[in-house]
Amino acid sequence: MLGCTAALAPLARAHDADPEEQALSSLIDAELAFARLGLEQGIRAAFLASFAPDGIAFEPAPVPLIATWSARPATANPKALKLEWHPEQAGVARSLDFGYSTGPFKLTDTTRDVPPRHGVFFSVWQRNGTDPWKVVLDMGVVVSQPADFVALGAAPRPRFKGSVDAATQRKALIARETRQLSTAGAAATAGTYADLLAPDVRLHRDGTSPVAGRAAVAKAVRDRAARLVWAPQDVRVAASGDMAVSYGKYREIARSGKTQEGYYTHLWLRDAAGRWRIAYDIALPAT
């Protein structure tokens, strides 16, 4: 079973679950229910039932899922494509209104004798009070074999405990992303990509298994490009100001001058000192 629920089991036996444990458990339950619905009714029905009205999915460009998928005609066989997934790691903001989940998925075309496709999903969830969790952003990458999340270590967590103004933090994150970054070095040097990373950051890219840790992620990105340019399109911040998600367009510029463009998602967490750090960097090429 998934590591996050296993980790909660001893806590539940030792004492009544605190609000954060309850929120995390309810988010995991929502993800599992989403996956079950996909198997029972098909991908289209499950996504339309589980996304927020303004939720975004990447195809690879970001689209409002409810409006876009509702406008498409339903297929004759809604279960022709079988999508199986489960959360391996998850986290929630201190305000308990915002969280994320990630894990492996497998996509099987039941109408053809072809191997299934494996990948890694990343979903951001939001809710109002105790209302049901809804997906506000979902991005997935394709990998060659099932990802080993145990080897990546414990899921990143926000550490900030102070009071904040979420609107101010949203502006700060937009400014933080609207610039060009060097990928030089693996150390947290001012003005470089590595300086924005959490120590336990994760990198999700098409064709490769997830990478964990600041030095390893910085090297993987440095091997791809000398410079990065991000153009954020939106940022959502938890009411507690310790977790946020941004998405937009990216451009990677190689040392040869060749460029690659696409779309990114960043999950930001604040450390104990209040500094925003990228905990997950996920990207899809435009073509």
Residue reference for tokens 């109408």? 111
Interatomic CA distance for residues 129 and 2, integer angstroms: 26
Residue reference for tokens 């009205």? 53
Check whether residue 52 and residue 142 sit in a common domain.
yes
Residue 157 within any structural domain of the chain? no
Report in angstroms the alpha-carbon separations of 265 from 5, 20, 138, 140.
25, 25, 9, 10
Say whether pLDDT at 98 is over 90: yes
Residue 161 within any structural domain of the chain? no
Instruction: Output phi, psi for 112, to 5 deg.
Output: -135, 150
Q: Specify whether the CB–CB gap between 237 and 166 falls below 8 A.
A: yes
Kindly report, residue by residue over 239-262, the tens digit of the pLDDT.
999 999 999 999 999 989 999 999
Q: pTM of the entire structure? A: 0.92
Check whether residue 234 and residue 129 sit in a common domain.
no
Instruction: Return the CA Rg of the chain.
Output: 19
Check whether residue 136 and residue 189 sit in a common domain.
no
Among the candidates 152, 183, 206, a domain finishes at: 152
Check whether residue 139 and residue 181 sit in a common domain.
no
Check whether residue 72 and residue 197 sit in a common domain.
no
Instruction: Output phi, psi for 134, to 5 deg.
Output: -130, 145
Mean pLDDT for all residues in the chain: 92
The pLDDT-based confidence of 184 (bands split at 50, 70, 90) is confident
Q: Does 244 or 16 have the greater pLDDT score?
A: 244
Average pLDDT rounded to a whole number, residues 99-120: 96
In this predicted structure, what is the pLDDT of residue 130?
A: 85
* Range in 14-18, 146-150, 270-274 with the lowest mean pLDDT: 14-18
Percentage of residues of the chain with pLDDT beyond 70: 92
Residue type, 284: L
DSSP 189-226: -TTBGGGGEEEEEEEEETTS--EESHHHHHHHHHHH-S
Say whether pLDDT at 190 is over 80: no
Check whether residue 137 and residue 27 sit in a common domain.
yes
Residue 276 within any structural domain of the chain? yes
Say whether pLDDT at 9 is over 60: no
| Domain extent for 173 | 166-285
Residue type, 175: A
Interatomic CA distance for residues 159 and 242, integer angstroms: 7
In this predicted structure, what is the pLDDT of residue 16?
A: 72
Among the candidates 125, 152, 179, a domain finishes at: 152
Residue type, 59: E
Residue 267 within any structural domain of the chain? yes
In this predicted structure, what is the pLDDT of residue 188?
A: 56
DSSP, collapsed to helix, strand or coil, labels residue 17 as coil
Among the candidates 129, 152, 175, a domain finishes at: 152
Residue reference for tokens 């952003």? 137
In this predicted structure, what is the pLDDT of residue 170?
A: 94
Interatomic CA distance for residues 36 and 43, integer angstroms: 10
In this predicted structure, what is the pLDDT of residue 160?
A: 93
Q: Under 8 Å CB-to-CB from 164, ≥6 apart: which residues?
A: 240, 241, 242
Check whether residue 174 and residue 259 sit in a common domain.
yes
Q: Which residues of 219-229 are buried (b: 16+ CB within 10 A; e: fewer)?
A: bebbeebebbb
Interatomic CA distance for residues 287 and 284, integer angstroms: 8
Check whether residue 134 and residue 7 sit in a common domain.
yes
Residue reference for tokens 């969830």? 125
Say whether pLDDT at 5 is over 70: no
Check whether residue 146 and residue 180 sit in a common domain.
no
Tell me which DSSP letter residue 176 carries.
H
Say whether pLDDT at 11 is over 60: no
The pLDDT-based confidence of 179 (bands split at 50, 70, 90) is confident
Percentage of residues of the chain with pLDDT beyond 90: 85
Kindly report, residue by residue over 116-149, the tens digit of the pLDDT.
999 999 999 999 988 999 999 999 999 999 999 9
Question: Half-sphere exposure of residue 41, counting CA atoms within 13 Å on the CB side?
Answer: 13
In this predicted structure, what is the pLDDT of residue 15?
A: 56
Residue 41 within any structural domain of the chain? yes
DSSP 219-261: HHHHHH-SEEEEEEEEEEE-TTSSEEEEEEEEEEE-TTS-EEE
Check whether residue 115 and residue 9 sit in a common domain.
yes
* Range in 166-175, 238-247, 259-268 with the lowest mean pLDDT: 166-175
Check whether residue 148 and residue 183 sit in a common domain.
no
DSSP, collapsed to helix, strand or coil, labels residue 170 as helix
Domain with residue 269: its CATH number is 3.10.450.50
Say whether pLDDT at 12 is over 60: no
Token digits of residue 26: 């309810």
The pLDDT-based confidence of 17 (bands split at 50, 70, 90) is confident
Q: Specify whether the CB–CB gap between 196 and 267 falls below 8 A.
A: no
Check whether residue 200 and residue 121 sit in a common domain.
no
Kindly report, residue by residue over 18-57, the tens digit of the pLDDT.
999 999 999 999 999 999 999 999 999 999 999 999 999 9
**What total of structural domains would you count in the chain?**
2
Say whether pLDDT at 185 is over 70: no
